Amino acid sequence: MRRTKHQPMAHDEAQRLFALWMKKGEDEGAIVAATLVEDRLGFAIKAHFVELPTRGDVAKILTETALFDGYGPLASFVAKIDVASALGILTPERRRDFHVIRSIRNDFAHALEPLTFSNDDVLRKLNRLSTYGTLSEFKQEFKGSPGTATKRFFFRYCSYYGGYLTGHADAFMAARDIDRKMRSTASSAKSSSGEKR
């Protein structure tokens, strides 16, 4: 089943994707893992918006597609990172991590020759990730080959951030739903008290 962008994701689905990434080659796995982070970032941003139709006549109404696809203002990973930072979804440290993930994804996506997580430039970037622990700390804990450790480290960051962003969006949408219910209850109570007079 093909996923629609920026939609809710269950924990077991995220775990299934993580297992799938580990089976892929380094380049494809890196691109897909970072793309999931970008998708979850779009989901978290979208949670802060009023409900928008997915598609429609953009000359008449604002749509998610107009914002997130093609030449929309939130079509790029960079734009999503900046807007998420402005909304308070990302701290300055997380913002830096997201730019590292984006940069590594771009390295793998645009490499003319095969690239691995053992590449010096990729390792330098991986060493800049720090919110959920450092690469050297992870290598000390990890029991396996060094090449697999760096790949798993990157995927762990993508998985953690995917979970963080999904949790952020879910909490924000739950708070909005509670607010709607409270307003509806207050409105109903107001109406029924007016009827009793």
pLDDT in 10s for each residue of the chain, 197 residues = 445 566 666 667 767 777 777 777 888 889 989 998 999 999 999 988 888 877 787 677 788 888 888 888 999 999 999 999 999 999 999 999 999 999 999 999 999 998 999 999 999 999 999 888 889 888 888 877 766 889 889 988 998 898 899 888 888 888 888 888 888 887 777 777 665 55
CA gyration radius, the chain: 20
Give me 98's structure tokens.
């997201």
Provide the residue ranges of all domains of the chain, joining segments of one domain with +: 17-185
Q: At CA 149, angle to CA 122 and CA 92, rounded to 5?
A: 55
Whole-prediction pTM: 0.82
Residues 184/189/192/197 CA torsion (nearest 10 deg): -140
Q: How many CB atoms lie within 10 A of CB 9?
A: 20
Task: Decide: 37 and 162 in contact? Cβ < 8 Å.
Answer: yes
Q: What is the full DSSP assignment across 5-41?
A: TT----HHHHHHHHHHHHHS-HHHHHHHHHHHHHHHH
Looking at domain 17-185, its CATH architecture is Up-down Bundle (1.20)
